[in-house]
Structure 1
Amino acid sequence: MDASLDTFILCVAPRKKPWVSLLNCSDLSTGESCDLTTYFNNAHCYYLARVQAFVPDQESNWTSSKLFYPMLDTILGAPVVELTGCGNCLLLQLSPPASRGHRRQLEFFFSDYVVNVSRTRDKAQFVIRASSGKNLINYLELGVEYCITVLPVTNLNNAVVPSGPHCTYTSPAPVNTVPVFVGALCTLFLLVALFSAALIYRGQLGVLHKLLPRTLSA
């Protein structure tokens, strides 16, 4: 059995041909599906789809879907998260999910986020608010692993998908080279002093060795 699928778009402006036939969704076999995402290119339109099945000698009645309004009915995917350590802080880069030509509309949806920060060692956690772009999470322990999850906050009643956990370590504490340098300098001075003392002691023994035969001969 084959199927023909048409999509009906209801916008504010009237259309001369309300039903738009989708050629790539025609002649579908039983069990096949068709992705209509690219046809819902206006988030402020109402969309209606209808489908009809047919065989060479008969056809079914049209079956229509419910009205679909992208602004409210879309399930928003997880945001894109990049996390890196930076000393006693984490650098968090947030952006809307990859989309098919709806980047600006998604930026409106994903303008605010709730970030849950958890320390791996003892599961201690806290929550912060963040925005799209670069965010800095400060006052963390050095050299410790932290994991975050990000949940978008929307001003509409859309279902949202949180991000999966992203984990990384804060940077380890920088090595203080001053004590090492001072210790090495003190060691060098001590070696020089010992070497000088050895030379002086050796020189005194040499003088004493030269003077001793004269005294005995006298």
Structure 2
Amino acid sequence: MVLLLLLLHSGFCVLLPSPANVSISSYNLQHFLSFWPSPGTPHGAHFMVQILGSRRTRWTSVSDCVDLKPGQTCNLTSDFMDPLDHYRARVRAISTNQTSKWTVSRQFQPLSDTVLGPPDLSLSGCGSCLVLRVRLPTDKLLQVTSMYWELLIHVHRTRDGAEFKLKLPYKQESVIPYLEPGVEYCVSVSITTTFNPTSIFSERRCSFTSPPPSEISQFLLLGLCGVFGLVVFLLLGRLIRIHVRRFKPATCTA
């Protein structure tokens, strides 16, 4: 650590090659910076990271990332506190008596540049509708007011493969109305925000809007239809015979 402070405040020559491919990746608001040592970087060199927010004028060192080895990443999750702020990060190489110029990342906004993973989804029927219960993929989204969230819903009807999509404001419990009673639907959901359309759909969950008729009920219904049809057939036959007898011409006898 003493060596690092001496290097930071000394006026030695800039000779080391700057780090390459400095980038920030993010999943569910977990942010990591990665980089590659450039060709010519000496064995034993280490790397340090600093960040700058749009509301600040001075770069600050990331305490856990002042002595990184090649191939290590820097966790910036706790340093990017405001999900709506814009940040930059920079990396430089340091050796015994040498340092490199800084390599600066592109601008990064936590909420818009993260990939939102699939939410937890449960599904139940409510007659001619489905009730969706959705849990956010990360509690870190609770930092952002729910007015920015939307549910992107993909609905698939099992019987014939018919599909449709809809968007609803995010709620922990939502309803998909105007569905067929007693029919199975499968649903998958993703969470999107006003700032970030990049999200992953949940696994598909399936449910009937209402309990389907049992096989016994179906057989009973078919039996009743058959009996009704037979009765109608017999009645029609009897009516036809009566009609024929009534209008049968009389025969003359000698």
Same-fold call, TM cutoff 0.5: yes
| Cα offsets for 1:151-177 (capped at 9, x unmatched) | 445433x23214133222214247799
1:41 partnered with 2:85: no
Cα distance, 1:55 vs structure 2: 2.1
Q: Counterparts of 1:172 and 1:129 in 2: how far apart (Å)?
A: 26
Which residue identity is paired with 1:168? Answer: C
CA deviation map 1:88-124 (0-9, x unaligned): 4321023433143x414162331x3232210223211
Is 1:85 the counterpart of 2:129 in the alignment? no
Identify the match of residue 159 of structure 1 among 173, 192, 197.
197
Q: Which residue number corresponds to residue 9 of structure 1?
A: 53
Cα distance in structure 2, aligned partners of 1:129 and 1:67 = 30
SS of 1:38's equivalent in the other structure is coil
Cα-Cα RMSD? 3.0
Instruction: Return the match for 1:147 from 186, 197, 206.
Output: 186
Cα distance change, pair 29–54 in 1 and its aligned pair in 2 (3 A): same
Displacement of 1:21: 1.4
Give the equivalent residue in structure 2 for 1:135. 174
**Alignment correspondent of 1:94:** 134
Structure 2 CA distance, aligned partners of 1:153 and 1:159? Answer: 5
8 Å CA contact 1:74–1:159 kept in 2: the answer is no
Q: As a proportion of its length, which structure holds more helix?
A: 1
The aligned runs of 1:1-218 (5 Å cut-off) are 1-11=45-55, 14=56, 18-70=58-110, 72-100=112-140, 102-105=141-144, 107-110=146-149, 112-133=150-171, 134-138=173-177, 139-142=179-182, 144-152=183-191, 154-156=193-195, 158-170=196-208, 171-173=210-212
Contact 1:83 1:166 in 2 (8 A): no
Q: Deviations over 1:57-78 (max 9, x none)?
A: 3222211112223354344444
Question: Per-residue displacement from partner, 1:23-76 (whole Å, max 9, x unpaired)?
Answer: 212222111111212211113432111111122232222111122233543444
Highest CA radius of gyration, 1 or 2? 1
3-state SS of 1:30 partner: coil
Unpaired segments ≥5 residues, structure 1: 178-218
Q: Secondary structure at the match of 1:39?
A: coil
User: Deviation per CA, 1:119-165, whole angstroms, max 9, x where unpaired?
Assistant: 223211233332322122243342x4321122445433x23214133
Identity of aligned residues (%): 31
Contact kept in structure 2, 1:151 and 1:160, CA below 8 Å: no
Number of residues of Structure 1 aligned to a counterpart in Structure 2? 170
